[in-house]
């Protein structure tokens, strides 16, 4: 979850969405790609996005979350795993995201090296409830199925 702030670009799933505000954060603050990175890291028992890209490290200030997710995918590959499919849900009250979902799906598929048919993108509002519903925050959840190469006894430590 990221707070929303005026004067920031709204980047969701690697796609810029026209808005008068964006997510506040150290990088471009794309909650969709951050959720995907955490899902991949978690599936491979490699920690979390905060450990990999600390928000107090100047190297990641304004960073493109697509590049960060690409680095996570490379680390998963080194660990012997690759994404098979992914599903994300974006939580944002406004603007309506329906017109942007195909572009988000295509961009996520590109980063994960998957066909778009293996990526699901959904958008939900909070019906005016809480920080998301009040238009003060955006969030995302993600699930990624990872395939481990080699024999089962050579799999990751999970």
Q: Are 12 and 120 in contact (CB under 8 A)?
A: no
Beta bridge partner(s), residue 11: 16
How does residue 150 score in pLDDT terms, banded at 50, 70 and 90? low
pLDDT of residue 158: 41
Q: How far is CA 49 from the centre of its chain?
A: 10
Q: What is the C-alpha to C-alpha distance for residues 43 and 136, in angstroms, rounded to an integer?
A: 30
Q: Are 112 and 83 in contact (CB under 8 A)?
A: yes
Q: What is the C-alpha to C-alpha distance for residues 109 and 7, in angstroms, rounded to an integer?
A: 28
pLDDT of residue 57: 83
pLDDT of residue 157: 45
Q: Quote the pTM value.
A: 0.91
Rounded (5°) CA angle 94-12-142: 105
Q: Where are the beta strands (DSSP E) in 8-155?
A: 10-12, 15-17, 21-23, 81-91, 119-124, 137-148
Q: Are 68 and 143 in contact (CB under 8 A)?
A: no
More confident residue, 72 or 156: 72
pLDDT of residue 122: 98
Name all domains of the chain by residue range, CATH numbers in brackets: 2-154 (3.30.1330.50)
Q: Minimum mean pLDDT among 46-55, 94-103, 138-147: which range? A: 46-55
pLDDT of residue 152: 47
Q: What's the pLDDT tens digit per position in 58-93?
A: 888 888 999 999 999 999 999 999 999 999 999 999
Q: Work out the average pLDDT over 23-50.
A: 94
Q: Work out the average pLDDT over 13-19.
A: 97
């Amino acid at each position: 979850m990221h707070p929303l702030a005026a004067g920031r670009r709204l980047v969701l799933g690697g796609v810029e969405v026209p808005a008068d505000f964006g997510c506040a954060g150290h990088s471009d603050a794309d909650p969709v790609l951050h959720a995907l990175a955490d899902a991949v890291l978690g599936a491979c028992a490699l920690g979390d996005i905060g450990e990999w890209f600390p928000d107090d490290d100047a190297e990641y200030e304004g960073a493109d979350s697509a590049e960060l997710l690409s680095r996570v995918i490379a680390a998963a590959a080194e660990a012997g795993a690759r994404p098979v499919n992914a599903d994300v849900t974006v939580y944002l009250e406004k603007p309506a995201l329906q017109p942007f979902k195909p572009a988000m799906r295509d961009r996520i598929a590109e980063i994960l090296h998957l066909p778009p048919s293996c990526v699901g993108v959904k958008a939900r509002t909070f019906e005016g409830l809480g920080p998301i519903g009040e238009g003060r925050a955006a969030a995302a959840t993600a699930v990624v199925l990872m395939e481990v190469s080699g024999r089962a006894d050579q799999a990751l430590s999970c």
